[in-house]
Amino acid sequence: MLRFTANLSLLFTELPLPERFQAAKQCGFDAVEIQFPYSLPVEQIHDILDQLDLQLVLFNVDADTLLQGGEGLVAVPEKRDQFKTAVEQTLAYAARLRPNLINVLPGCCLDPQRLGEYQTTLLENLAYAASAFADLGIKTVFEAVNSYDMPGFIIDTGQQMLDVLAKVDHPNLSMQYDIYHMSRMGEDCGGFLRQHLDKIGHIQFADCPGRAQPGTGAVDFDSLFNIIATSDYQGWVGAEYRPTAGTVASLPWLKTYSIK
């Protein structure tokens, strides 16, 4: 079965963030996700979700300056305390909003000579986060990001995600699989999904190249969505793309692939 969420950090950006929730509901989404919700008070988000009967599926732990070209938080040895503070902020929001999942972005290492240190710190902090969110009954995920769009990203392949998952070996940790990022890396997304869906807690997608809506690139969504829909996967599939000509105009795929 396919259950889609609208990522409000990339979709409906024609509107201020508080208005995107209603726009998503009006377009047929029953659930949303947000990269970083911290610009809005937690009570405001809670009230909007409650009024619209929307489910918040996922949001991220703060990643410092990662999206502005920095290294992020979770893997940087000197930022261990800052990462723990970010987890506390996320816990406060999660306790009120009760998402299904919290995503932890592994981040970048911009000094290759320190990669080993960063990898060790990443493993330690992923275990810390997985334990912290387990206390709320909320699953923790982490993702690979393609190293073309974000050079130096510590995890940029599906196999690296599997390796990290095995090393951390925490029952509350699973993978977030992003079809766009792994397509950008030239991976066989269909083969990976067939083999490893039991280790995936969340899926996101955009077409590739371009990171726009389905139908604008070369990704075979008919095949990939069929793999997910006919599997035992119980999670959500997040629309995390940049619409080419407005969000509403980008949504024909939703009617095509949704199964109520």
Count the helices and strands in the chain (H runs, E runs).
9, 8
Phi, psi of 153 (to 5 degrees): -60, 135
Domain count of the chain?
A: 1
pLDDT higher than threshold 70 for residue 259: no
Write the pLDDT tens digit of every residue in 70-87. Answer: 999 999 999 999 999 999
* Contact indicator for 204, 7 with CB cutoff of 8 Å: yes
Write the pLDDT tens digit of every residue in 43-54. Answer: 999 999 999 999
What CA–CA distance (Å, rounded) separates 41 from 45? 7
CATH code for the domain in which residue 55 is found: 3.20.20.150
Q: Which three-class secondary structure state does DSSP give residue 231? A: coil
Write the pLDDT tens digit of every residue in 126-145. Answer: 999 999 999 999 999 999 99
Q: Which three-class secondary structure state does DSSP give residue 13? A: coil
pLDDT higher than threshold 60 for residue 260: no
Which of 33, 71, 187, 240 is labelled catalytic?
A: 240
Q: What is the pTM of this model?
A: 0.97
Q: How confident is the model at residue 258 (pLDDT cuts 50, 70, 90)?
A: confident
What's the Rg (C-alpha) of the chain?
Answer: 17
Kindly state the percentage of the chain with pLDDT values over 70.
99
Residue 240 among the catalytic residues? yes
Write the pLDDT tens digit of every residue in 169-219. Answer: 999 999 999 999 999 999 999 999 999 999 999 999 999 999 999 999 999
Which of 33, 71, 143, 187 is labelled catalytic?
A: 143
217: left (phi over 0), alpha (psi -120 to 50) or beta: beta
Residue-range definition of the domain harbouring residue 106: 4-257
CA torsion angle 30 36 40 45 (round to 10): 20
Which whole-number Å values give the CA distances from 132 to 85, 164, 174, in the listed order?
12, 18, 14
Residue 14 among the catalytic residues? no
